[in-house]
A and B are shown apart, each in its own frame.
Chain A
Amino acid sequence: MNPEVHVPGWEWYYVAMYFYIGGVSAGSYFVGSLAEYFGSEKHREVSRIASYLAFPLILLTPPLLIADLGRPERFWHLFVDPNSGLPYLNLQSPLSVGSWALLLYGAMTFLSFLDNLVADGVLRTTPFAGLYTRIPRKLYALVGCGAGFFVAGYTGVVLNITARPFWAATDPLVGALFIASAASTGAAAIYLVFAVRRMLPRLHLGAIERFDRLAKVLELVLAVGVVLLAGKFAAPLLHGSNAVMFWGGAVLAGTFVPLAASWYLNRSATGEPLPGGLVVLLSLLVLVGGALLRISLVQAGQV
């Protein structure tokens, strides 16, 4: 007769979707920045597409987060104490630190977004270009990359740092799992844009595919690790709809199948790019799998 640690009642269509969309945005941003940092100038195209994805996607997330609040009009209390008027940060609360990281990440992706618009000639200049053009682009890409890892990972730490049996038992793996999933879904979003805009021949698939495969292997290992860690609390991931979403959606369709396909179809030896339709299909599998991963883990802690 143990007491029930109460469920928060976070709605999957707000909270899990925020975890997911924030992850895709952050993943594409750090994949793009890392490609540009570690790779040569030919990965510039990847980082360009990444900045065009990261900022619009992260713009979608605050409404989701705010809609799940009991008092949406007070969302700004996350940053400012309404009584003292001073900024508020609670280092013990992943939610508090995460809110600030999201703000920082949003600002950095916005700068990269503007920067690329100017570079592509869409905008001739920006209203406050003087404020930031003297800062090297790579500097805010670096800060944004770090904040992106934080945005992708803290959502898993939020779940782990609770007393709900399933979330507490899976500590400390969910943060790392969400980061691996962000990398994989971020790369998939980039592939998708390249494929849809028929730019695949310009994508140097070899490197990004290799990175993507490593991320997916890490994701598979961590997903299995989460279930093993959950032990006697793993039931929600072994029966019912959460199990279908987790094993069928996230693990099999979203990770294992695209990984196997990537190995099987590895044409980098011939240099032939994969057919666009196939890239679209595989990318969509990865993206849907990433959403189902977040939904199943958010729901598994609330049954």
Chain B
Amino acid sequence: MAKGMFVDTSICIGCKACQVACKEWNALTGEPAHFRFDPAEKRPVAVNFTGNSYDNTGALSATDWRHVRFIEQISEDRSRKRWYFSSDSCKHCNDAGCLNACPTGAIVRTGLGNVFVRQDVCIGCKYCIPSCPFGVISLSGKTGTVHKCTLCNDRIHQGLGTACAKACPTESIRYGELAELKRRAGARLAQLKGLGYDRANIYGYNEAGGLNVFYLFLDHPSVYGQPENPVVPQRRLPVSSAAAAAGAVAIGVAALVSFRERGRKEDAKEEGKK
């Protein structure tokens, strides 16, 4: 009964209604763009302006659980251009790096497959932050704990969809049963391929054990700022631990040959003196 979201980026219009709905429902504060006087530079500097894009947050953060990424590519002579949008969020990975890394069990998965942070348990050790291959989970300086999209945990367990999907005017973000969403994604992909979008692809069927929030992209995932081959860090744990253990064994052997042999030789010398 896993639930998830399918983000069809080919019909996203970059309106950011999902960002607003997410902030509203989850009561996330905004970080308004402003100017701050910098005493070192002796001039006002821009804070929270991306300045080079209609993209207004640039990344996901503890208060930006949705981020509409703007892909604005214009050729040197300005004759060709591409303008893509992709609404990004936590992917609720089936093999979640953040959940695996958590030393307190603060990050949990519910029966619907979504992953969220128990705010009363998190100690703010920050180990989940570099453990997410997608750069999602982030620390809040205000609460001292980490925050990320919960897949609207409070809504979905009451039979409602996610706030972002509800607000999306083009149904680019759809919430529902994973199996149904995958059927829909397959049909849309076939349609786009028929229309000549040869590079169109689905991102999230196999990555990180399968993503409960998956995407249809018109070009390679890296164009949309997603890693081509995300690796769940803990899958490297057996080899990494074995290498550290080998280091310990090497030091143990060094001690054995140093202390034991040497002891014998010295003993022999001392006996020789007698």
Contact = CB atoms under 8 A, between A and B. Distances in A.
Interface of A: 1-10, 30-31, 34-35, 37-40, 42-43, 68-71, 74-75, 77-78, 81-83, 88, 90, 92-96, 99, 149, 152-154, 156-158, 160-164, 167-168, 171-173, 175-177, 179-180, 183, 204, 206-208, 210-211, 214-215, 218, 222, 301
Contact of B259 (A38, A96, A161): A38
Contacts of B227: 2-3
Contacts of B38: none
Contacts of B126: 8-10, 68, 70
B104 interface: yes
Given A4-B135, A38-B260, A177-B247, A301 B120 contact: no
Q: Give 9 closest A-B pairs by Cβ, nearest first.
A: A70-B124, A176-B247, A175-B244, A70-B144, A172-B243, A39-B259, A211-B258, A96-B103, A34-B255
Given A6-B138, A71-B124, A95 B101 contact: yes
A39 B263 contact: yes
Given A70-B124, A70-B144, A8 B130 contact: yes
Contacts of A99: 103
Nearest to A209: B258
A162 to B, nearest CB: 4
Given A173-B243, A176-B250, A207-B262, A83 B121 contact: yes
**Chain A interface main SS type:** helix
A146 B133 CA distance: 32
Interface string B218-260: 0000110111001101101101111111111011101111111
B24 interface: no
B267 to A, nearest CB: 7
Contact of B131 (A77, A90, A163): A163
A40 B259 CA distance: 8
A34 B259 contact: yes
Nearest to A70: B124
A161 B247 contact: no
A218 B106 contact: no
5 contacts: A70-B122, A70-B145, A90-B103, A93-B101, A162-B101
Contact of B130 (A7, A43, A69, A154): A7
Given A90-B103, A160-B236, A211-B254, A153 B244 contact: yes
B131 A215 contact: no
Nearest to A100: B103
A207 B258 contact: yes
B134 interface: yes
- Interface centre among B97, B122, B125, B237, by most chain A C-beta atoms within 10 angstroms, is B125
Nearest to B249: A149
- Identify the interface centre among A30, A94, A161, A164: most chain B CB within 10 Å of its CB: A161
B100 A149 contact: no
A210 B143 contact: no
A86 to B, nearest CB: 10
A162 B103 CA distance: 14
B5 interface: no
Nearest to B123: A74
B139 interface: yes
B121 A93 contact: no
Contacts of B59: 3-4, 6
Q: Please indicate which of the listed interface residues B59, B123, B239, B250 has the most CB atoms of chain A within 10 Å of its own CB.
A: B123
A162 B233 contact: yes
Contacts of A70: 122-126, 139-140, 143-146
Interface in B50-71: 59, 71
B44 interface: no
A105 B264 CA distance: 31
Interface in B38-97: 59, 71, 97
A39 B260 contact: yes
Given A2-B222, A93-B103, A179-B247, A158 B260 contact: no
Contacts of A3: 59, 134-135, 225-227
B144 A71 contact: yes
A70 B102 CA distance: 14
Contacts of B146: 70
Contacts of B258: 38, 207-208, 210-211, 214
Interface in B136-160: 136-140, 143-146
B266 interface: yes
A153 to B, nearest CB: 4
Given A34-B259, A40-B263, A207-B263, A90 B244 contact: no
Given A99-B103, A211-B259, A163 B133 contact: yes
A126 B122 CA distance: 38
B145 A215 contact: no
A206 B262 CA distance: 7
Given A149-B248, A175-B243, 8 more contacts: A6-B135, A34-B256, A68-B125, A70-B146, A77-B106, A183-B254, A208-B258, A301-B130
